[in-house]
Structure 1
């Protein structure tokens, strides 16, 4: 397949489109505001597994159809299972476990993931944004951890959000349940930047294309090392990062990149 050829892979709840090394995953359940039902979570996990195994994909963009990236867990689905014999415990455990698996899959994916946010990203939808490596928000985007308003503290969303923003900002979001505008989300560090309404996906694609031009092996080494060292004590972090740098230096793309820089020519990355 040529680098500019477009491939579309229809899924029931998440659509994948590939172009020039960038896979765009679009949540497409606008009637539910792209709620993270168990079926939606499974569709996204399957999509990330397929992307991990696809050497042609270098960067992922995550977007949503309709007025939301995602409004979080499917409250109607959760509520329906309260009628189960165990009051929903087994389903709740399954839903929380698989949602955590999805968030970990994004972090573990050795390819950058960029969220393109228009409209709302709330509860587990806000968690989804926080789990991504980068995020671009349209000016009308809104973010919240609103569970406290219905008696359900957003404990699992705080795992990702609390690692993306300061502790006090994360707790403010979770304790108030308030909606925060895109500019505040940028100030908190939840998103990288704010663009005009409707421009988030185009800006995310432009950013993805710049990143996709880099060495895939280098991106994988760097992302893996960053997330492993970020919560380590300083000495352990430097030791791990040093090993990552050495592994990177020994990779053929590092030698090629240095040679291309010195020769004043574009690099020819392995597998590109």
Structure 2
């Protein structure tokens, strides 16, 4: 079982929840003023999404070039073992009314190498295999269904289910050092589940190229394809991520929740149905307390004073 150790401390008038340092933690969860920062901290396995790590995430929710041997990524850092998957699951879905945003990042130069292939051998059996992929699906769906935005902060390689994790986040800030691939076919396991969010992020020809060849794409190529939101130099990653977080925190929490839910729901609708429901959502939004506060503050030329109350 991956232990996620936290403690709350007070600094002035601010409350912080921070992880207690320990040797080789696999998952670090820090929560400060509405922002939950989840760090994959298992560089030995390349942040593999183990089953346990997946479930934990859902409940709480060497410098490689892109030409290097992609098969070697599976064997090391931050792989998504069952243990990692369970931990991630726990961290992501952990209930907190004050939560406004989640930032997902990783230690080391590999964001995540995907599933831990040692867990997928015949020795483990189909029952265990089902647990792994069920936990992975729960995590990825949980990210989309969360009421708050999820920001991925990527500085390194994201392969297979690691690429799936990136594609499942709402916003992705990546450095020029990052690369993305779905190379499962190289080891006889096609990236079928990683392809689910991937094909919903990038054009068909790009997803087909990634899935059928296993070849990686650079951060700039991922940006052009729509897999990432912005690419920055490594030294600007922290500042750019904080800029995104601050922009989210400056808005009404229930308004963002309403908008995120409809944004994803309408993608499965016909354009006619989307406009019909979208009009209803807009009317509801306008008549929310914070909807009216936003309108009045604009008319009165002042900053809005959000209530963050659900209507």
Distance 1:125 1:3, change over 3 A: farther
Q: CA deviation at 1:93?
A: 1.1
Counterpart position of 2:112: 70
State the alpha-carbon separation in 1 of the partners of residues 13 and 40 from structure 2. 24
C-alpha offsets along residues 186-232 of structure 1, whole Å, 9 cap, x if unaligned? 11110011111243343212211111110001000000001111121
Q: Alignment partner of 2:104: what SS? A: strand
Distance 1:71 1:149, change over 3 A: same
Q: Structure 1 regions of 5+ residues with no counterpart?
A: none
State the alpha-carbon separation in 1 of the partners of residues 36 and 296 from structure 2. 30
Distance 1:58 1:3, change over 3 A: farther
State the alpha-carbon separation in 1 of the partners of residues 165 and 238 from structure 2. 16
Counterpart position of 1:266: 303
CA contact (8 A) 2:184 2:214 kept: yes
State the alpha-carbon separation in 2 of the partners of residues 3 and 167 from structure 1. 50
Counterpart position of 2:195: 158
Q: CA deviation at 1:3?
A: 7.6
Q: CA deviation at 1:132?
A: 0.5
C-alpha offsets along residues 165-192 of structure 1, whole Å, 9 cap, x if unaligned? 1111111100110121111111111001
Counterpart position of 1:112: 149
Q: How many residues align?
A: 267
Q: CA deviation at 1:44?
A: 0.5
Q: Alignment partner of 1:54: what SS? A: coil
Q: Alignment partner of 1:106: what SS? A: helix
1:45 to 58, 73, 98: 58
1:175 to 203, 208, 212: 212
State the alpha-carbon separation in 2 of the partners of residues 3 and 126 from structure 1. 39
State the alpha-carbon separation in 2 of the partners of residues 16 and 148 from structure 1. 33
Q: CA deviation at 1:55?
A: 2.1
State the alpha-carbon separation in 1 of the partners of residues 26 and 307 from structure 2. 34
Q: CA deviation at 1:6?
A: 2.6
**TM value normalised by structure 2:** 0.81
Q: Alignment partner of 1:155: what SS? A: coil
Verify: 1:20 aligned to 2:30, yes or no: no
Q: Alignment partner of 2:269: what SS? A: coil
Distance 1:3 1:231, change over 3 A: farther
Verify: 1:31 aligned to 2:31, yes or no: no
| Mapping of residues 237-248 of structure 1, within 5 Å | 237-248=274-285
CA contact (8 A) 1:137 1:193 kept: yes
Q: Structure 2 regions of 5+ residues with no counterpart?
A: 1-9, 62-89
CA contact (8 A) 1:248 1:254 kept: yes
RMSD of aligned residue pairs (Cα, Å) = 1.9
State the alpha-carbon separation in 2 of the partners of residues 199 and 234 from structure 1. 38
